[in-house]
Amino acid sequence: MLPSADKSISHRAVMLASLAEGESRIHNFLEGEDCLATMRAFSQMGIGIERTAPGELLVCGKGLGGLVQPEKELYLANSGTTMRLMLGILAGQPFIATLTGDESLSRRPMKRVTDPLRKMGAKIQGPEDANFPPLTIRGGKLKGIQFSSEVASAQVKSAVLLAGLFAKGPTQVKEPLPSRDHTERMMELFGANFRKEGKVSVVQRTEKLTPREIRIPGDISSAAFFIVAACLVPDSEVVIKEVGLNPTRTGILDVLKEMGASIALENVREEWEPVGDLRVRSSNLQAVKLTKEKIPSLIDELPVLMVACALARGKSEIRGAEELRVKESDRIRAMCENLGRLGAEAEELPDGCVIRGKEGFRGGKVSSFGDHRVAMSMAVAGLRSEDGAEIAESDCVNISYPSFFKDLESL
């Protein structure tokens, strides 16, 4: 099977292609609601984006100075990635724009991004000192900063690096633990003035980005639902093809292997992002202990990993994962509550959870909490529930994986 295209990379592809000078082609673009919000926002700022076939985009970039002031506010729906990265790009634009989102996005902390961008010279207003949307940003003459992020967040890092393309003087970003590096790879691919100095990313004002033709790999965060499902459902063997294997994203594979999963990598090739196929067979999983060092490399896979822990032998512990509380939902609470409703034993901690594994679940009614990854994780849990899992508000899977239920059924 092929999982849906990578969400993080799809956003960045549209962003960089919009800022490049000329036509970029994007193959295997993720047509989920989050990435469509990014597309819409750039269209509102004057970028021509044509969908030439399903998943195929032709983006007519207008250069780093080519965006125009949007006539209306930019509504970014549920997409935290769009809002945070877009703030970085808008910080460099000589106009005003207002960014809004749905109820979930309106509760997500933005100060982590608006603080450094203000230091660079952007003017940003919004509730609680620009910590929450709606945010109004007036970009302008930026200066480079040396920024040491408190959170290991690719969105924060990316916002500052993108603003750095427009700033006078170098912009340096350091993070406490390595987060996904798609922005850095894509900046290099499009010819930005970017370099890595040890653990520090450095970007300088860039005059021109070169358009590209790129293929988006499959999303390991979407593949994760099938990886865990194949581990958990007896007598399974599933081959998941064309999965992005960027080492900043593959923590889920390390941890599942440590738990005893049978996962083989095949056809691995190094393109601008590494890609390969995964062959997964059912296995008896053992409990695991996760600490904060591992968290950034599997941050979005933690909900489904919690399902795996709830069916593994022994007591698992996940710590250092307090970032989960400020995702599309409070994923610690949402998952512990849902697992409990199925008859599993999952106890909340401020920064994670303790889970005692069982042979199977009873089943029952759960909620997605409007969170796509919670919905998909509970679908995986349903596969090992006697009475199944009935998931309320499950259509939120469209945010990152519109064909999720179809693909799951096909397996």
Q: Applying CB under 6 A, which residues contact ligand S3P?
A: 8, 81, 153-155, 158, 179-180, 299-300, 323
Is 407 part of the annotated catalytic residue set?
Answer: no
Of the candidates 172, 149, 18, 162, the residue with the CA atom closest to the CA atom of residue 85 = 162
Strand partners, 214: 26
CB 66 within 8 A of CB 16: no
User: Tokens 């593959």 correspond to what residue?
Assistant: 250
Assess contact for 26 and 216: CB atoms under 8 A. yes
What is d(CA 91, CA 288) in angstroms, rounded to the nearest whole number?
42
As measured in angstroms, the least distance from the Cβ of 15 to ligand S3P is 11
∠ at Cα 274 (269, 280), nearest 5°? Answer: 80
Q: Which is nearer to ligand S3P, 155 or 338 (CB)?
A: 155
Q: Which is nearer to ligand S3P, 102 or 300 (CB)?
A: 300
DSSP states of 277-335 as a string?
A: EEEEE----B--EE-GGGGGGGGGGHHHHHHHHHTSBSEEEE-S-GGGGGSSS-HHHHH
> Whole-angstrom Cα distance, residue 26 to residue 52?
10
Looking at beta carbons only, is 116 or 382 nearer to ligand S3P? 116
Closest CB to ligand S3P among residues 31, 323? 323
Sign for the CA dihedral angle at 251, 253, 254, 256 comes to: positive
Least Cβ distance, residue 130 to ligand S3P (angstroms): 17
Minimum CB separation of residue 183 from ligand S3P in Å reads 7
Of 341, 252, 258, nearest in space to 304 by CA: 252
Give the angle subtended at the CA of 402 by the CAs of 399 and 408, to the nearest 5°: 125
**34/312 with CB nearer ligand S3P:** 34
* Nearest distance in Å: CB 49, ligand S3P: 19
Q: Which two tokens stand for residue 158?
A: 């990316």
CB atoms within 10 A of CB 69: 12
CA dihedral (35, 249, 367, 78) positive or negative: negative
Q: Which of 34, 102, 300, 371 is catalytic?
A: 300
Q: Which is nearer to ligand S3P, 57 or 154 (CB)?
A: 154
Query: Which residues are catalytically annotated?
Result: 300
